[in-house]
Amino acid sequence: MKRRIAIVLAVLCGALAAVLCQAPAALLDLGVRQASEGRVRIADARGSAWNGEGVILADAAAGHGALPLGQLGWRLAGFRDGALEIALAFDGRPLGRLRLDVTGIGTTVADWRLPAAETLALLPGALGRGQWEGQLALTGADGRCDWLGRCTGHAQLAWSGAATRRIENGALGDYQLALDGNDGRVDFELSSGEGPIALTGKGRWQQGQLRFDGLARGNDAVLSQFPGFLGKVFEATGRPGEYRITVER
C-alpha cells in the first residue's frame, strides 16, 4: 500500500512539474506587478515560467512613463540540496540565482548593473526629477522570503560617476548604499567614495513609508543649486558647504 501511495505521489508531482514548466512567462509578469504594487512589470515576456525572457519596465511616476531597465532572462538550472534553482541573466550577462524550496524563495545576485537615469527616476517626488546620471551596480545581494511573505536580506548598491543635468558642473562623485531588510522593514546607510560632493546619512523604508536623514558637504557653488529643484528636501545648515537632506514620504 505504501509503495502504491509513493508511486501515485510521484506521478502527481511529475504531472504538476510538467504543467508548471509549460506555464506561460506572462505569469511572472503578473507576480512582479503584484509584488511591486504595479510599479514594475515584465513586458514582452516570452517562453515559460521556467525558461524565458522579457523587458523590465518601471513606472517612474515622475512624468517619464514606463522606463525600460533592461532584458531579464531566466532558466531552470536544476535541482540541488532540496531546492529548484533558476539561473538569472540581465542584458545577456549572468545575474544570479533563485532557489525555491518548501520553506520559501531565496535569491543571490552577484553584479546587477543599471542605468542611473532610468532607475533613479523611480525615486519619489522631486528626487525622481533630478535627471541623474552615472552607473548603478547592485554589487551583491542575498535575500530570502518564506511563503507568507516575510523577508530578510542584505544588499550593497554602488553609484559611480554620479551627476545631475539639473545644475551647472553637476558631477558629484561615487557613493555606496548598504541595505538590510527584515520582515517588511529596510534600513539603509549612505556613504561616499571619491568626488567633489560627500553624501552621508541613514534611512528606513517600512510599510510604504520612506524616511532619510543625511548631510551633503563640499563645494558650496555646486550645493547651493540643489534647493532650486529639490526644495525642502535639501536645506542649508548655516555652515559653509553643508546642507541637510531630509526625505519623508
DSSP string, 91-156: TTEEEEEEEEETTEEEEEES-EEEEHHHHHTTSSGGGGGS-EEEEEEEEEEEEEEETTS-EEEEEE
Cα separation, 237 vs 246, in Å, equals 12
Give the model's pLDDT for residue 23: 54
Reference 50, options 82, 73, 34; nearest CA is 73
For the stretch 109-116, contacts whose Cβ atoms lie closer than 8 Å and that sit 24 or more positions apart, written own/partner, are 109/138, 109/140, 109/141, 109/142, 109/155, 110/140, 111/137, 111/138, 111/139, 111/140, 112/137, 112/138, 112/141, 113/137, 113/138, 114/69, 114/70, 114/138, 115/69, 116/159, 116/162
Question: Could you tell me the pLDDT band of residue 41, with boundaries at 50, 70 and 90?
Answer: confident
Residue entry with cell 560627500? 198
Give the model's pLDDT for residue 37: 65
Reference 73, options 47, 54, 100, 101; nearest CA is 54
C-alpha cell at 4: 502504491
What H or E segment, with its residue span, contains residue 18?
A: helix 2-22
Check pLDDT > 60 for residue 18. no
Question: Could you tell me the pLDDT band of residue 36, with boundaries at 50, 70 and 90?
Answer: low
What is the three-class DSSP state of 5? helix
Question: Could you tell me the pLDDT band of residue 11, with boundaries at 50, 70 and 90?
Answer: very low
Question: Could you tell me the pLDDT band of residue 5, with boundaries at 50, 70 and 90?
Answer: very low
| Residue 229 burial by Cβ neighbours in a 10 Å radius (0-12, 13-18, 19+) | middle
pLDDT tens per residue, range 115-167: 898 888 888 888 888 899 999 999 889 999 888 878 899 999 999 999 999 98
Cα separation, 174 vs 62, in Å, equals 24
Residue entry with cell 541573466? 89
Going 158 to 154 to 72 to 35, the CA torsion angle's sign is negative
Reference 114, options 152, 159, 84; nearest CA is 159
Check pLDDT > 80 for residue 80. yes
* Number of neighbours of residue 80 by Cβ within 10 angstroms: 10
Cα separation, 226 vs 216, in Å, equals 10
Question: Could you tell me the pLDDT band of residue 31, with boundaries at 50, 70 and 90?
Answer: low
pLDDT tens per residue, range 102-113: 898 899 998 888
Give the model's pLDDT for residue 8: 36
Residue spans of the domains in the chain: they are 24-102, 104-249
Question: Could you tell me the pLDDT band of residue 194, with boundaries at 50, 70 and 90?
Answer: confident
Please provide the average confidence, as pLDDT, over all residues in the chain. Answer: 83
More confident residue, 140 or 3: 140
